[in-house]
Amino acid sequence: MKMNKYLRVILITILLAVMASCGNSKKKDSVFSNPVKAYNKSKNSIAIDQLTTISRAVDSYYIDNGNFPETLNDLIPMYLRTKNEITDPWGSPFEIRTDDNENFYLISPGRDLSFETNDDVKRSL
């Protein structure tokens, strides 16, 4: 079977690109090189996106009521549709808290399911 010379050029280019990407050990973890780390990183990114959405809902609640909600359940159904939106990718509920300076923030316990550990995902309000 005779291969079109353009098809050969394309296949060689693809092969060289794949070989170059496999040989670079400094690249970020991928689903292929470290699937567990990539999976956890994607869940962390989802949690960050969720915190952005929740933060907007809290801002709207504050504008309407003049104060922050006591719990994130207060946002449902007027500002967020369901409880799923206030549950992190690991199945734990997000919480609204205040720090020592009385600044409000949102928090997820992260992968270990425990608050106040290194893997918590936080966002200031």
Q: Could you give the CA distance from residue 95 to residue 109 in angstroms, rounded to a whole number?
A: 9
Q: What letter does residue 78 receive in the DSSP assignment?
A: T
What is the residue-averaged pLDDT of the chain? 84
| Each residue's pLDDT tens digit, 61-101 | 999 999 999 999 999 999 999 999 999 999 999 999 988 88
CA dihedral 14, 17, 22, 24 (to 10 degrees): 180
Q: The pTM is what?
A: 0.69
Angle in degrees, CA 84, 62, 119, rounded to 5: 45
Please report the domains of the chain, with CATH numbers, ordered by start residue: 29-124 (3.30.700.10)
